[in-house]
Amino acid sequence: MSNELIQIETPFQFSEENQRKFDKLIQRYPVKEAAMLPTLHLAQKQAGYISPAVMEHVAELLELPVMKVKDVVTFYPMFFEEPVGKYVIRVCYTLPCALRDCKLVLEHIKEKFNIDVASETDLAKGTTPDGKFTLLKSECLASCDVAPVVMVNDDLYKNLTPEKMEEILDGLE
Amino acid sequence: MVQERRILYEHLDVPDINTFDVFRQYDGYKRFEKTIKEHQPEEICDMVTQSGLKGRGGAGFSTGLKWSFVPRDIEPRYLCCNADESEPGTFSNRYVLEKNPHLLIEGILICCYAMGISTAYVYIRGEFTLGKRMLDAAIEEAYRHGYLGKNILGSGFDLDVYSHPGAGAYICGEETGLIESLEGKRGQPRVKPPFPAVEGLFHKPTVVQNVETLCNLPFLMGQGVEWYTSIGRTYGDTRFDPPQSDPNTGTKLYCISGDVNKPGVYELDLGLTAEELIEVAGGVKGERVKAVIPGGSSAPILTHYELECRLDFTSLTLWKSMLGSGGIIVMNETRNIVDCLLNIMKFYAHESCGQCTPCRWGTPWVRDIVQRIADGEGRQTTIQRPRFGIAEGGRWGDTGEMEEVYEDLDLLESVANNIANVDTMTWNTICVFGIAVSWPAVSYLRKFRPEFEAAIREGKLVTLPVEEATVPPEENYAYQQRIVPRLFEAPA
Amino acid sequence: MAFIKLNDLEVEVEDGTNIIEAARQHDIEVPHYCYHPGLTRPANCRMCLVEPHVFFPPAGKVVPDRQLATGCTTTVRTAPPDRKLDGKYDFIVRTDTPRVKKAREDILEFLLVHHPLDCPVCDQAGECDLQDFSYNHGSGKSRYLEVKNVPPKKDLGPDVLLYSTRCIVCTRCIRFCDEVAGTGELGLIHRGSHDEIDIPRDHDENPLRLLDNKLAGNVVDICPVGALISKDFLFKSRPWFMKQVNSVCPGCSVGCNITVDYKEDGLYRIKPRFHEDINQHWMCDDGRLGYHYVNSEDRLQIPMKRVDGELVPTSWADALNLIVEKFSETDPESIAVIGSAQGTNEENYLLGKLAREVLKTESIGLFGREPGEEHKFPQFTIDADKNPNTRGARDMLKLGEDASLTGEALWNGIANVKVAYLVNGAPERPLDEGAKQVLEAVDFLVVQDIFESDVAQLADVVLPGVTFAEKDGSFTNAKGWVQRIHRAVDPPGEARVDWEIIQQLAKRLGGEMDYHFAGEIALEIAENVPDYQDATHQNIGAGGVNIERG
């Protein structure tokens, strides 16, 4: 492990619109640190993932040591430290969905794209080579009545079967 | 058959109820208006106490009592609405957020008015993107119509409500974990005391309430304590009923999933039995019930012998389980309990925040043991009971009986109990996540031990017929203790 | 004061004391890892569980509480009269019940499931809390059959290595960087059993920041296991082979209390020692890692004199005779004596006595290291004055605020002096050209030093003195604390303890000095120097004496 500090070549900046959103966000809390999660969500939406440049910028905005940002980013599974596919597929794998054969759906996606399930520390193995899809197992998505469920980016798909999943994935550009 | 009583969910399916105008047509915000016109904040707290409303988030703690702990002389105070619904098997809050967000805002208004709070944060789990969008839109509308902001309806009462997204950590549903997460840190629960009511968000007094609890408030205030306490099953005189001194009033949004014909959220009076609930949900899918998880995946499991148990906060405690978040998961005869436990343990090992020692390293250990058993690699030895005598061949030697010992089952129970002891209900962890791990582990093992033993013996998962898989009632540690001791009966 | 029942003892402790400290005050050990008295208390290791007792109304008596409580976060307070337990106690707690012992054993089992069995190669072995508590409270066998986590070894910064496998995630180091240093370089990464301490890195493990603040070394001290290791001490010695003395850091005028670990062949490490009013539990890395000069091969080991422009070794007798000769033939007004802010009170006192009573000169000055930078941290300060005893030396040499031979004025002041006796003793003290010219102009310059420094190179006679680790004495820090330093190792070669050299000179000049040890001089200081009446070695002890507190 090297001891050489990395240099950030292209610093991250919020787009104008996101900067406006951030300025509004930060006013909601008596301490800046509290805006951490919404700010990271905002930054991830813009940058695709939380790169070191994003961490540095967020740390600067919230007036924190950069480690505090890294600390939070690694704790929460929704933040990615590596680039992910255009579509992030989260297959719920907790008991109620497991009782409703979510395994079939998961296996189907794995076979279809010939990828593994991504882990939080290795997203690359669950991402298609064209960078379009990333496959993740997810903990309960709180839709157990319509199990099995899959979230693709922000959209929830219910009562899935491998066939339905196929249809949905084919419909995604 | 038990009938649904829709109160919170009454107008859930009205088209566009998420808009202010439609919500107004169905009494929206009128209960809040009535409240600030007719009641002083202290009166509201008294009413909530009298109503017997219990927190719907999981612990079932009396809401009025919780409010009474909040010191009134420290400013500012905060409300955190817990919308981090992530207990497996629970999905009632999602519908409120997505379909009827104004109801939640009205509940927040009443709570904040009663507690003199002027800032409320709604912590929504990160995956609820639709719910957050709907709530944000509703908050904006409420501001526009003067129901949020400064000097609401000319009453001099100010309130700001903000939504705050989580990012996929189950532990942020624990109230102090939620507070830490809201402060922008890892969602690691805090040591209690001090409780959030005294020192919570930004080290100020903080009320943390579940969505469902807050949604009860408009109806409680609109129709009065008497009406509210009349809801809830009247208890017969069976010996299994909880004492009247600890009433379970109001309705509960029971979320039922798994092997039932009509899974979904059913709003029912607190106190119906598990059997009745399964009937309401269209009956079991498959031939018969093998097991029921009564309160989210962390609740101890019920066997088919225990379905007469009433699903309310007090009764389930007496049955050594809990209502928790009201997420009921039904398993039929085709399910393998070891496999189900493995799924749940994987969940907890993944979601442990890693802050304190027993949970950080105990939870994955429990998962690994279950995994080993499920893989058919569980350890089993035959030992000979010590008895000295004349053995075969006329020599002195051990003559004790041979006995099968399932070492890994003992280890599993011991490790789980070391995280949090199921029998004494004590935990060595910082928060109750510890007991949420050991409860399922120990209860599944004790109540369905034959199936665990079979997995070890056969070297693979074996699904036994229901009767064979289940420990009979007389050997069930929980079943024997379900009777209400008369000692605790309230004096007449 | 709260009156509590602690096991079978009835004791009084101050309000607000936690159970760990209350027990410690009465020699009862409550094992703990995450708790450190200088940091906040997250109660995450769960090792310090104790059994509080509470009044249980239905039973009408005091019973053990249902849950065990962490000793670190449980504080005792005086209870109102109607809330006393058993009529008189403010608190009742037991640390020795079977329940407590079982809990400790369980927690230790969890702590050890991923811990490697590498004690034989671990620097911490011998002073490791995990070893000690496992021995005292553990079960002695492991039931863990699964694969252990093996997180990587990490280089955190200039002096700190992290052996992640040994880490028990008590977060003391993180809290130290957040609370005391205020720099926040450390944090946790990942979650649950994958938690690791780390500095911020990108996804390829390259660091964005290093643990390079000036207090970083403290994280090694507070690490209860062998996870954080100082590169300086790595594989150097087993703790049990080293001896230890108390001392004071000579790095700046803060005067951090330290312990010096040494063997016969030199110093091995320096660690901070608790002092409530001076350094609490901490010290800076400049002081911690600044001891190497003591072990240096380049130390002066033998007196030297100038022959034909070159410094050549000579004997003590020859060197001292040469000086006596020069002093005797010089007019007292042309003699200057310059003490050292690096020296002890005792040697400066003798030097002052030599100047005034024997040499009859009032040209007395003070020499020392140049001021450096001041560093302020939320709970710690490193002083700009890089000498440990500026204040003490001034008091001993009776140099008032307007003394002419100190600081920059020194060079003007000795410009016309014919013979000068200058004591240095600083590990490094470069001279600028102006100062060099002044010293070159002095006819006969005697320098007492530890290295062939810039000053020594200009001398006509060089006397080998010793460092703080080779002598006894006392320093007075900037806030008036008089504190003891103790001799750890022997002086190198023929080098002699400074006050002995001064005494030898005085004797040869006909002065009356006959001290046998530094403490004797301190007794005289207590009599003669204002405010130092309490500063005898006996009184100073391990905690020091403050001369400002009259």
Query: What is the SS3 string spanning A73-117?
Result: HHHCCCCCCCCCCCEEEEEECCHHHHHCCHHHHHHHHHHHHCCCC
Domain at B142, CATH number: 3.40.50.11540
Please list every residue in chain B whose beta carbon sits closer than 8 Å to the beta carbon of residue A78: 126-127, 166-168
Question: For residues C58-69, b (16+ Cβ closer than 10 Å) or e, as one string?
Answer: eeeebebbeebb
Please list every residue in chain B whose beta carbon sits closer than 8 Å to the beta carbon of residue C43: 191, 356, 430
User: Does residue A91 sit at the B interface (CB-CB below 8 Å)?
Assistant: no
Quick check: B214 and B81 in contact, CB under 8 A?
yes
Q: Which residue has the tokens 């303890």?
A: C497
> Quick one: chain A helix, strand, coil %, rounded to 5?
45, 15, 40
The C-alpha angle with vertex B293 and arms to B288 and B295, in degrees rounded to 5, equals 145
- The CA distance from C121 to C125, in Å, is 8
Residue A4 in this model has a pLDDT that exceeds 90: no
Residue A166 Cα, gap to closest chain B Cα (Å): 22
Q: What's the pLDDT at B425?
A: 87
Q: What's the pLDDT at B491?
A: 43
Residue B302 in this model has a pLDDT that exceeds 80: yes
Tell me which chains share at least 3 CB pairs under 8 Å with chain B. Answer: A, C
Q: Which residue of B has its CA nearest to A92?
A: B88
- The CA distance from A119 to A133, in Å, is 14
Residue of A55, A99, A101, A117 to mutate, testing the B interface (most B Cβ within 10 Å of its Cβ):
A99
Q: Are residues B294 and B401 part of one domain?
A: no
Q: What's the pLDDT at C416?
A: 84
Please list every residue in chain A whose beta carbon sits closer than 8 Å to the beta carbon of residue B74: none
Nearest to A1 among C152, C183, C203 (CB): C152
Q: Tell me if C190 and A74 make a contact (CB, 8 A cut-off).
A: yes
Pull the structure tokens for residue B471.
Answer: 């420990």
Q: Are residues B261 and B217 part of one domain?
A: no
Fill in the amino acid letter for C119.
C
Pull the structure tokens for residue C201.
Answer: 């890195």
Instruction: Let me know if residue B110 belongs to a domain.
Output: yes
Of the ranges B19-28, B73-82, B471-480, which one carries the lowest mean pLDDT score?
Answer: B471-480
Q: Which residue of B has its CA nearest to A35?
A: B184
Structural domains of chain B, count: 3
Instruction: Let me know if residue B485 belongs to a domain.
Output: no
Quick check: B351 and B170 in contact, CB under 8 A?
yes
Greatest Cα pair distance in chain C: 99
Q: Are residues B298 and B164 part of one domain?
A: no
Residue of B425, B427, B428 to mutate, testing the C interface (most C Cβ within 10 Å of its Cβ):
B428
- The CA distance from C157 to A99, in Å, is 50
User: Does residue A99 sit at the B interface (CB-CB below 8 Å)?
Assistant: yes
Residue range(s) in chain C whose domain bears CATH number 3.30.70.20: 118-241
Q: Are residues B190 and B56 part of one domain?
A: yes
Mean predicted confidence (pLDDT) in B342-368: 95
Residue B337 in this model has a pLDDT that exceeds 70: yes
Give CA separation, C193 vs B102, B367, C45, C133, C520, in Å.
Answer: 40, 12, 14, 22, 60
Residue of C33, C41, C44, C137 to mutate, testing the B interface (most B Cβ within 10 Å of its Cβ):
C44
In this prediction, residue B244 has a pLDDT band, given cuts at 50, 70 and 90, of low
Residue B170 Cα, gap to closest chain A Cα (Å): 8
- Asked whether the ipTM of the predicted complex exceeds the cut of 0.90, the reply is yes
Q: Tell me if A31 and B91 make a contact (CB, 8 A cut-off).
A: no
Mean predicted confidence (pLDDT) in B454-470: 95
Please list every residue in chain B whose beta carbon sits closer than 8 Å to the beta carbon of residue C103: 428
Residue B488 in this model has a pLDDT that exceeds 70: no
Q: Are residues B323 and B377 part of one domain?
A: no
Q: Which fold has domain C304-546?
A: Rossmann fold (3.40.50)
Q: What's the pLDDT at C412?
A: 84
Q: What's the pLDDT at C409?
A: 82
pLDDT in tens, B9-49: 999 999 999 999 999 999 999 999 999 999 999 999 999 99
Quick check: C254 and C279 in contact, CB under 8 A?
yes
Q: Tell me if B191 and C43 make a contact (CB, 8 A cut-off).
A: yes
Q: Are residues B301 and B174 part of one domain?
A: no
Work out the mean pLDDT of chain B and round it to a whole number: 91
Q: Tell me if A147 and B187 make a contact (CB, 8 A cut-off).
A: no
Please list every residue in chain A whose beta carbon sits closer than 8 Å to the beta carbon of residue B370: none
Q: Which overall architecture, per CATH, does domain A2-75 show?
A: Orthogonal Bundle (1.10)
Fill in the amino acid letter for A131.
G
Q: Tell me if A38 and B165 make a contact (CB, 8 A cut-off).
A: yes
In this prediction, residue B386 has a pLDDT band, given cuts at 50, 70 and 90, of confident
CATH of domain C2-96: 3.10.20.740
Instruction: Let me know if residue B492 belongs to a domain.
Output: no
Tell me which chains share at least 3 CB pairs under 8 Å with chain A. Answer: B, C
Nearest to A81 among C152, C183, C203 (CB): C203
Residue range(s) in chain A whose domain bears CATH number 1.10.10: 2-75
Residue B108 in this model has a pLDDT that exceeds 80: yes
Work out the mean pLDDT of chain A and round it to a whole number: 93
Long-range contacts of B465-474 (CB under 8 A, 24+ apart): B465/B333, B466/B288, B466/B289, B466/B290, B466/B304, B466/B333, B469/B290, B469/B337, B470/B290, B470/B291, B470/B303, B470/B304, B470/B305, B471/B303, B471/B446, B471/B447, B472/B305, B473/B305
Fill in the amino acid letter for B278.
I
Q: What's the pLDDT at B486?
A: 43
Please list every residue in chain C whose beta carbon sits closer than 8 Å to the beta carbon of residue B365: 110, 113, 144, 146
pLDDT in tens, B115-153: 999 999 999 999 999 999 999 999 999 999 999 999 999
Q: Which fold has domain C118-241?
A: Alpha-Beta Plaits (3.30.70)
Mean predicted confidence (pLDDT) in B464-471: 95
Instruction: Let me know if residue B235 belongs to a domain.
Output: no
Instruction: Let me know if residue B38 belongs to a domain.
Output: yes
Q: What's the pLDDT at B365?
A: 96
Q: Residues in chain C with pLDDT < 70? A: 550
Q: Which domain holds residue B320?
A: 251-334
Q: What's the pLDDT at B313?
A: 86
Nearest to A145 among B167, B184, B263 (CB): B263
Domain at B414, CATH number: 1.20.1440.230
Q: Tell me if A66 and C207 make a contact (CB, 8 A cut-off).
A: no
Mean predicted confidence (pLDDT) in B315-336: 91
Quick check: A87 and A98 in contact, CB under 8 A?
no
Q: Are residues B221 and B82 part of one domain?
A: yes
CA B351, B355, B357, B361 torsion: positive or negative? positive
pLDDT in tens, A106-136: 999 999 999 999 988 889 999 999 999 999 9
Q: Tell me if B428 and C146 make a contact (CB, 8 A cut-off).
A: no
Please list every residue in chain B whose beta carbon sits closer than 8 Å to the beta carbon of residue A36: 184-185
User: Does residue C26 sit at the A interface (CB-CB below 8 Å)?
Assistant: no
Q: Are residues B218 and B107 part of one domain?
A: yes
Q: Are residues B370 and B292 part of one domain?
A: no
Q: How many CB pairs under 8 A join A and B?
A: 140
Q: What's the pLDDT at C203?
A: 85
Q: What's the pLDDT at B409?
A: 95
Q: Which residue has the tokens 């020594």?
A: C456
In this prediction, residue B489 has a pLDDT band, given cuts at 50, 70 and 90, of very low
Nearest to B364 among C49, C73, C193 (CB): C193
Please list every residue in chain A whose beta carbon sits closer than 8 Å to the beta carbon of residue C191: 74-75
Mean predicted confidence (pLDDT) in B326-332: 95
Fill in the amino acid letter for C383.
D
Residue C144 C-beta-side C-alpha neighbours within 13 Å: 23
Residue of A12, A67, A68, A70 to mutate, testing the C interface (most C Cβ within 10 Å of its Cβ):
A67
Tell me which chains share at least 3 CB pairs under 8 Å with chain C. Answer: A, B
Nearest to C46 among B369, B411, B428 (CB): B428
Please list every residue in chain A whose beta carbon sits closer than 8 Å to the beta carbon of residue B164: 37-38
Residue of C164, C201, C203, C204 to mutate, testing the A interface (most A Cβ within 10 Å of its Cβ):
C203
Give DSSP secondary structure letters for B131-154. Answer: HHHHHHHHHHHHHHTTSSBSSGGG
> Quick one: chain C helix, strand, coil %, rounded to 5?
30, 20, 50
Among B208, B218, B191, B216, which Cα is nearest to B78's? B208
User: Does residue A147 sit at the B interface (CB-CB below 8 Å)?
Assistant: yes
Q: Tell me if A140 and B93 make a contact (CB, 8 A cut-off).
A: no
* Residue C28 DSSP symbol: -
Instruction: Let me know if residue B269 belongs to a domain.
Output: yes
Instruction: Let me know if residue B484 belongs to a domain.
Output: no
Pull the structure tokens for residue B490.
Answer: 């309230």
Nearest to B182 among A34, A143, A147 (CB): A34
In this prediction, residue B88 has a pLDDT band, given cuts at 50, 70 and 90, of very high
Residue range(s) in chain C whose domain bears CATH number 3.40.50.740: 304-546
Phi first, then psi: what are they for C421, rounded to 5°? -115, 110
In this prediction, residue B482 has a pLDDT band, given cuts at 50, 70 and 90, of low
Residue range(s) in chain C whose domain bears CATH number 3.10.20.740: 2-96
Residue A33 Cα, gap to closest chain C Cα (Å): 14
Give DSSP secondary structure letters for C408-477. Answer: THHHHHTTT-SEEEEE---S-----HHHHHHHHHSSEEEEEESS--HHHHT-SEEEE---GGG--EEEE-
Which CATH class for the A87-170 domain? alpha beta
